[in-house]
Amino acid sequence: MTKIVLASSSTYRQDLLKKLGLEFEAVSPRVVETPGFDESPDNQALRLAKEKAAAAAPRFPESLIIGSDQVAVLNGRQLVKPMTRDNAIRQLRESSGQRVAFYTAVSVLHTTTGEMKTDIDRCAVYFRSLDDREIERYVDRERPFDCAGGFKSEGLGIVLFEKFEGEDPNALVGLPLIRLARLLTSFGIRVV
């Protein structure tokens, strides 16, 4: 059986991949996640997903390597992981009453053949109008400092939304499982 490798140190992506019930190994791809000059969000997410899979390839011959990346955009500006309480509060204030677009790309590289297949999920979150008190309570309760946009949709962050538009809510967490399952199936991996 072909070994499956997730080129990600994200515990969120690892937890999502576990949902498929496949055995896999997770490794850090050691890729610098900076946007290219004048690069669109979807192109950036696709490029970085490919780079992550390719970066792990030399360590895993005869494997399928999964790379994924996500870019969040608010009013034409890319949101990053806030890393601090103050930054998370600031990002959520800016997102209050707004639409945030998420581009989550996935790439699967077959290291034996060199074939790589990619796909991208595009979704959007519409935030409710949030007051400072609820933002601060949310941030203090969930501490979403390592999440793009400063929230965890798989947790309490879901109550910050007015609505979600998209095909796969898993993509919002960081790994589009519907698209990934299709890619894995195309490489002969039985998901079900």
Geometric angle at alpha carbon 33, from 178 and 90, rounded to 5°: 90
Instruction: Answer yes or no: is 27 within a domain.
Output: yes
Return the active site residues: 69
pLDDT (tens digit per residue) in 68-100 = 999 999 999 999 999 999 999 999 999 999 999
The per-residue pLDDT for 1 is 63
CB atoms within 10 A of CB 8: 26
* pTM for the whole structure: 0.94
How many domains, the chain?
Answer: 1
Instruction: Answer yes or no: is 191 within a domain.
Output: no
- Whether the CA torsion 77, 29, 31, 183 is positive or negative: it is negative
Please report, for the domain that includes residue 34, its CATH number: 3.90.950.10
Instruction: Answer yes or no: is 156 within a domain.
Output: yes
Instruction: Answer yes or no: is 192 within a domain.
Output: no
Instruction: Answer yes or no: is 33 within a domain.
Output: yes
Residues, the chain, total? 192
Compute the distance between CA of residue 101 and CA of residue 140 in angstroms, rounded to an integer.
24
Q: Is the pLDDT of residue 192 over 90?
A: no
The residue segments making up the domain with residue 115 are 3-186
pLDDT (tens digit per residue) in 2-40 = 899 999 999 999 999 999 999 999 999 989 888 888 899
- Whether the CA torsion 165, 142, 34, 78 is positive or negative: it is positive
pLDDT (tens digit per residue) in 150-160 = 999 999 999 99
pLDDT (tens digit per residue) in 98-146 = 999 999 999 999 999 999 999 999 999 999 999 999 999 999 999 999 9
Instruction: Answer yes or no: is 88 within a domain.
Output: yes
> What is the number of H-type helices and E-type strands within the chain?
6, 7
The DSSP bridge pattern shows strands 77-79 and 63-74 to be antiparallel
pLDDT (tens digit per residue) in 45-70 = 999 999 999 999 999 999 999 999 99
Instruction: Answer yes or no: is 45 within a domain.
Output: yes
Instruction: Answer yes or no: is 139 within a domain.
Output: yes
